[in-house]
Amino acid sequence: MTTRTNFKAYSSTMMKVFSQDQCQELVLAAEEAMWRTGTDFYDKESLEILKKAGCWVDGKRVRIPAHITEQALKTCQKHVVLCNSRTGARELFVEGNNAYFGSGPCTPFTRNPFTNERHRATRQSVGWATKVLDALPNIDYAMSLGIVQDVPLLISDRHEFEQQILNTDKPIITVCVDAWGQADVIKMAELVAGGEEELRKNPFICLYAEPISPGIHCLEAAQKLVMGAKKGLPTIYTPCIMAGGTAPATMAGVMVQGLCESLSGLVLSQCAREGAPFIMGGVYTVLDMKTTIFSYGAPELHLLLAGLADVAHYLNIPMFGTAGCTDSCVIDEQAGIEAALSIAMTNMSGANLNHDTGYSEYGTTSNLDLVVIADEILGMARRLTKGIHVDQETLALEVIEKVGPGGNFADEDHTLEHIEENYAPRLVNRAARNIWEKAGSKTLTQVANEKVRDIINHHEPIPLPKDVAAKIREIVENAVGHVPGEDE
Amino acid sequence: MHTTKSNYTRANYEVNQTTQWKMLSDDQCSELYMTTMEVLERTGAEILNKEAQKVFEKAGCWVDGNRVRIPSALTEWAVRTAPSRVTVCDRNSKRALRLETTNAFYGPGQNNTYVMDPLTGERRKPVKGDVVNTGIVCDGLKNVDFAMSNGLPTDVNQGFAEVHAFEALVTNTTKPIVQSIQGVEQAQAILDIATTIVGSLKNFQKDPFVMFLIETEGTLVHSDETLKKVMFAAKNGVPYIYSTRLIAGETSPATPAGAIVVALADVLVGILLGQLVRQGTSVITGGFFSINDTENGILPIGATEVSLMGTGMANVLRYLGIPSFGFAGATDAKESDAQMGLEAAFSILHEGLSGTNLIHGSGQLEYGLTGSLELLVMSDEVIGMTRRIIKGVEVNEERLARGVIDFVQPGGHYLGEEHTLKYFRDEFWWPSVLNRTRIDDWTAAGAKTLGQRVKEKTQSIIKTHQPEKLSEDVLGKIKVILDRTGTV
Amino acid sequence: MANFEELSKSVISGNLAKVKKVTQALIDEGVSPLDIINLGLIAGMGVVGARFKNGEMYVPEVLVAARSMRAGIELVQPLIASEDMPSAGKVLLGTVKGDLHDIGKNLVGMMLESRGYTVINAGIDVSSEKFVQFIKEHKPDILAMSALLTTTMLGMKDTIELMKEEGLKDQVKVIIGGAPISNDFADEVGADGFAPDAASAVDLCNRLLA
């Protein structure tokens, strides 16, 4: 019997952008910025909370002493779980190096999968999108893929959530327009979960807010963050920053700027309620200096977020990343390239909860064909990230000896036992040319579009109990919109 | 410029100067290597060349008919004595490819039976003019580091197709050339042309600009012709690539670990023979890994497993200190679409991250049956993105931008900062064919897909790029060689 | 001796110190202030605009060039009666109420200035009342409003309505922009035009004032 010791194996690919020392340096630089420069909070309650906790408040400007930041890093919850909305089953472990993927929110426009028309997102388009997300095996949670705009805009978030909860049992990340909207959505979620306690115990929703870079925590963002903390619901805080525009042009400077904003949000959440589950988000990219777009396909986006994942792991806090998106206006070769690079990098970085699959046109228009293609790329990336398993069985020494030089392994038991470890594509085409031509010479995007239509026409999500759906309808119908910037 | 100034030196500070990426741990690499040596010692390889058998026997191998079993000590000697770095020059004897450590260089492929005519879009057998175009396109692309023929010409004396291909490349690009050879006779003709260009064999050996590509038959069988080519290259001091072509589940076990063992056993035979013929011979090794897709009856070249096994092999070769040869930038798609984009991007990223030294295959379409210069041009862009990603993030006092962040203040912007002006060009990657214009401008410019823009760029390179010409004198001498060898 | 070409070149390269120096030298030499602006400063900026359009210059460089031009103009300004100051037009610029997004609007301002417009920046979170107050105070040719959110873009309509009530809509053209804005939306709220980005905002202003 062979035994051995001191053998270290990689059971996945291993990737790092920053060393431990560099992670530390970035965090300390962010702490310096949080104290020396500070950030602005536009919400009165937030200012009071921060002042009471020992931060230096001067008007809107809040300077956060390093020890408070470090305390917040200690107290925030490291183990965050998102659940199935119908069963409460604990499904997504948003922690460590686990990487989950889903769609993005808030695009003003979408492309109709049947007409290819680019139009403003509607109740119907969000419903369709959610159905597609529900049906795809590599998509782990749902975001709306559009702002519902065929309803009064100030209460669009309630309609959005209704469409989502009706069409999927996967966890939902919800982006509300303001604190009132978020309160209504939480109310609806509590109805589904069976009460406030139940929702907190097995949360199936995750809240979302974002600061305005550089260094502004607007009223809505701060209020949503505080509410999430008080409710004990996981809350994502995502600076969307562009190198050279709202952050320094150097990638290291972008990291500092982004961390400064994220960690200021973390401090607010922990000061509002110690131990609140906080997820550090990020869309760090470049401002394209020719066209001034906020790029969703730049290689810097993938690099910066892989770097942010290193910092998140160093800090041991959950992270919200970005992948599966493109600057291309159509789902062409470029969309394939940008989605593949971002998904592969993000999956290998071990960022936990990753959004924006399905974003085309630099994040302006959602596209369901791209979601289906991203689902396939996710399958590929997950196979590759699993790496190569090396042991006596996989090394196959006996089989190699048995087959011998020039032999064929096709009929060996060993081959049959292991062949299914290969990734079996569902969408990409490997057929011989004549077969492919006979089937209509379809491009990948055409095949993906057919799948989207098929899902919309035939997929049946697990329904919500009728009485719950009715109560949700009631909340949507009674929702009251508030003018942006309005307080109390 | 606004920087924080403090006078310090820092101790014990470890940085990731580039992105870090690995598939296999050193222990796993070691185990794969040990297992391989066990295979060579126990199972051995079929050696179908008498002279090679004698060389192996004299060195202490156990020869039994054609079966040669190699003692581990001898394998280890060969790995030690084979150089861990090979520098390949350009046609002007300028040092170009430093094949060592994790330097990654990219180029096209060559096993395709057909080509896509870049001007008409017609799919047809390649002619010499296609290889000329390949030379011009390789020469004109910034991120393509070496040239390969992208198919062998069918309109020339078939016995000397490689010689014609080489002539077409060497007269149209100054970049290093990876050249396959049919046999020793053709190898001699190619070497004669190469030495004519640089003046003498000695000059060529000092600053080689051609590598011979020698492909094995797979699964531990080495044919008479293959081994002759190895001995020819070793005797003449021509760097050669000993490359395996492996199908997991057919010519090797289905498990990636087992596949790497067989591949390594295969190539170590070619390395050992070279070292025995002439100790210190420059050799690069690796190959192309695929899986047995029985459903479609093809060998996929865009599959995840191609990158999975390829990068695993690269890790082992890095562990052994032997320059590596890999495969990326190819697709199973039949025409330009999102599948082409995502498969090419996926493999280019991973091969680049693994630091495979010489990466070929960009431009291979339709599971390798068809060569496409358009895909090569598209890959050039993806290689640029990948290079930005693997370059990583530089972290230092000035790039952390703490002073700039404080100067700009929350709510400000960085557009006109001196810091931005100093860094935005170098820190950002600049696209050439990817679209970042807004949808209105993109529509006004004809709403072209990336495939269409790439087609235009390819045609423009072919029509306008002027590679550096060889002198009339040298061209005359090359003609004499072609006449003498019966090539024409 | 200082000359216009040198001044233009200094503007193109964004060399603020040199622009100031050359402008001052020209003033000291008694060159007509209007010529300094038209043949030196604005001429240089014209080159910058053209190069940006061709993709030969980038946003940070345009911004620095515009900044240096402005420094030159500030030196010349006191020498010219305000009604004689050359300007392509006056634009009032702001982000609507409830919205703190700033960068897109700043890009528009920068591009407009670089093409000879006088820009009054009303800032962020600007209410309809404030916009109207600014209009009365500065009498711009164009009001340019920005919004990044679908919730705040409604503020554009409110502002236009209020302008109508105050009888200002006929005197001032209104253009709007921002990620959720489209041509349809511009028509719906009664704006005179929509620009998807900073460069096209300049073209739009040129068209509206032609």
Residues C68 and C111 in one domain: no
**The domain containing residue A136 runs over which residues?**
75-386
Query: Which of A134-148, A314-328, C80-94 has the lowest average pLDDT?
Result: C80-94
The answer to whether position A68 is within a domain reads no
Residues B318 and B416 in one domain: no
Of C84, C117, C149, the position where a domain reaches its end is C84
Per-residue model confidence (pLDDT) at position B298: 92
The answer to whether position A7 is within a domain reads no
Per-residue model confidence (pLDDT) at position A487: 67
**The domain containing residue C53 runs over which residues?**
4-84
- C54 vs B370, which has greater pLDDT? B370
Of the candidates A109, A71, A115, A99, which has an alpha carbon nearest to the alpha carbon of residue A354? A99
Residues A238 and A114 in one domain: yes
The answer to whether position A415 is within a domain reads yes
CB contacts of B424 in chain C (<8 Å) are: 58, 60
Per-residue model confidence (pLDDT) at position A479: 95
Percent of chain B with pLDDT over 90: 94
Residues B304 and B253 in one domain: yes
CB contacts of A212 in chain C (<8 Å) are: 100-102
The answer to whether position A485 is within a domain reads no
Residues B129 and B212 in one domain: yes
C100/A218 touch (CB, cutoff 8 Å), yes or no: yes
Residues A250 and A174 in one domain: yes
**Burial class (CB within 10 angstroms; exposed 0-12, middle 13-18, buried 19+) of B51:** middle
Residues A244 and A276 in one domain: yes
CB contacts of B417 in chain C (<8 Å) are: 60
* Closest CB from C59, C100, C197 relative to B415: C59
CATH number for position C58: 1.10.1240.10
**The domain containing residue B143 runs over which residues?**
79-391
Residues in chain A: 488
> Rounded to whole angstroms, how far apart are CA atoms A380 and A378?
5
> Rounded to whole angstroms, how far apart are CA atoms A180 and C151?
13
Residues B303 and B421 in one domain: no
Query: Which of A324-328, B367-371, C83-87 has the lowest average pLDDT?
Result: C83-87
Q: With helix as H, strand as E and coil as C, how does chain B read?
A: CCCCCCCCCCCCCCCCCCCEEECCCHHHHHHHHHHHHHHHHHCCEEECCHHHHHHHHHCCCEEECCEEECCHHHHHHHHHHCCCCEEEECCCCCEEEEECCCCCEEEECCCCCEEECCCCCCEECCCHHHHHHHHHHHHHCCCCCCECCCCCCCCCCHHHHHHHHHHHHHCCCCCCEEEECCCHHHHHHHHHHHHHHHCCHHHHHHCCCEEEEEECCCCCEECHHHHHHHHHHHHHCCCEEEEEEEEECCCECCCHHHHHHHHHHHHHHHHHHHHHHCCCCCEEEEEEEEECECCCCECCCCCHHHHHHHHHHHHHHHHHCCCEEEECCCCCCCCCCHHHHHHHHHHHHHHHHHCCCEEEEECEEHHHCEECHHHHHHHHHHHHHHHHHHHCCCCCHHHHCHHHHHHHCCCCCCCCCHHHHHHHHHHCCCCCCCCCCCHHHHHHCCCCCHHHHHHHHHHHHHHHCCCCCCCHHHHHHHHHHHHHHCCC
Per-residue model confidence (pLDDT) at position A347: 98
The answer to whether position B272 is within a domain reads yes
Of C66, C84, C102, the position where a domain reaches its end is C84
Is the pLDDT assigned to residue B1 strictly greater than 80? no
Q: What is the pTM of this model?
A: 0.96
| B207, amino acid identity | D
Residues C53 and C104 in one domain: no
**Geometric angle at alpha carbon B247, from B244 and B249, rounded to 5°:** 140
Give how many domains chain A has, as a whole number: 2
Q: How far is CA A483 from CA A178, A207, B167, C40, in A?
A: 9, 21, 73, 48
Q: pLDDT confidence of C83, banded at 50, 70, 90?
A: confident
CATH number for position C101: 3.40.50.280
Is the pLDDT assigned to residue A488 strictly greater than 70? no
CB contacts of C154 in chain A (<8 Å) are: 153-154
Classify C174 as helix, strand or coil.
strand
* Tokens standing for residue A67: 């020890």
Is the pLDDT assigned to residue A442 strictly greater than 80? yes
Residues B44 and B99 in one domain: no
Residue C40: DSSP 8-state: I
B450/A215 touch (CB, cutoff 8 Å), yes or no: no
Residues C47 and C93 in one domain: no
The answer to whether position B193 is within a domain reads yes
Residues A107 and A225 in one domain: yes
How many of the other CB atoms lie within 10 Å of CB of A9? 14
Residues B84 and B155 in one domain: yes
B415/C106 touch (CB, cutoff 8 Å), yes or no: yes
Q: Which of A138, A334, A443 to mutate to test the interface with B (most CBs of B within 10 A)?
A: A334
C179/A290 touch (CB, cutoff 8 Å), yes or no: no
The answer to whether position A402 is within a domain reads yes
The answer to whether position A323 is within a domain reads yes
Residues A379 and A410 in one domain: no
Residue-wise pLDDT for A269-313, tens only, equals 999 999 999 999 999 999 999 999 999 999 999 999 999 999 999
Give the full edge-to-edge strand order of the sheet including A319-322. Answer: A100-103, A353-357, A319-322, A278-281, A235-237, A205-209, A172-174
Min Cα separation C55/chain B (Å)? 11
Residue-wise pLDDT for C1-30, tens only, equals 568 999 999 999 999 999 999 999 999 999
How many of the other CB atoms lie within 10 Å of CB of A66? 14
Residue-wise pLDDT for B264-306, tens only, equals 999 999 999 999 999 999 999 999 999 989 889 899 999 999 9
Residues C46 and C93 in one domain: no
* Mean pLDDT, residues A398-423: 93
Min Cα separation B140/chain A (Å)? 21
Q: Are A258 and A247 in contact (CB under 8 A)?
A: yes
Residues A132 and A244 in one domain: yes
Residues C8 and C108 in one domain: no
The answer to whether position B456 is within a domain reads no
* Closest CB from C64, C124, C197 relative to B438: C197
CB pairs under 8 A between B and C: 31
The answer to whether position A159 is within a domain reads yes
A242/C103 touch (CB, cutoff 8 Å), yes or no: yes
Residues B193 and B259 in one domain: yes
Residue-wise pLDDT for B158-209, tens only, equals 999 999 999 999 999 999 999 999 999 999 999 999 999 999 999 999 999 9
Residues A152 and A256 in one domain: yes
> Rounded to whole angstroms, how far apart are CA atoms B138 and B149?
10
Residues A98 and A158 in one domain: yes
A244/C97 touch (CB, cutoff 8 Å), yes or no: no
CB contacts of B444 in chain C (<8 Å) are: none
The gap from C-alpha C190 to its chain's centroid, in whole angstroms, comes to 22
Residues A361 and A402 in one domain: no
Residues A186 and A92 in one domain: yes
Residues A417 and A297 in one domain: no
Percent of chain C with pLDDT over 90: 79
Round the average pLDDT of chain A to a whole number and report it.
96
Residues of chain B numbered 405-424 and touching chain C (CB < 8 Å): 411, 413, 415-417, 420-421, 424
Q: Which of C12, C63, C69 to mutate to test the interface with B (most CBs of B within 10 A)?
A: C63
Query: Which of A476-480, C175-179, C196-200 has the lowest average pLDDT?
Result: C196-200
CB contacts of B420 in chain C (<8 Å) are: 60
Is the pLDDT assigned to residue A322 strictly greater than 70? yes
Residues B65 and B167 in one domain: no
Residues C94 and C80 in one domain: no
Residues B172 and B38 in one domain: no
Pairing between β-strand A80-83 and β-strand A90-94 as defined by DSSP bridges: antiparallel
Residues B279 and B408 in one domain: no
Give how many domains chain C has, as a whole number: 2
Residues of chain C numbered 120-159 and touching chain B (CB < 8 Å): 124
> Rounded to whole angstroms, how far apart are CA atoms A397 and A420?
20
> Rounded to whole angstroms, how far apart are CA atoms B316 and B109?
23
Q: pLDDT confidence of B142, banded at 50, 70, 90?
A: very high
Q: Which chains touch A (3 or more CB pairs under 8 A)?
A: B, C
How many of the other CB atoms lie within 10 Å of CB of A468? 16
CATH number for position A273: 3.20.20.480
> Rounded to whole angstroms, how far apart are CA atoms B437 and C184?
21
The answer to whether position A167 is within a domain reads yes
Residue-wise pLDDT for A173-193, tens only, equals 999 999 999 999 999 999 999
Of C59, C84, C109, the position where a domain reaches its end is C84
Of A364, A386, A408, the position where a domain reaches its end is A386
CB contacts of C107 in chain B (<8 Å) are: 415
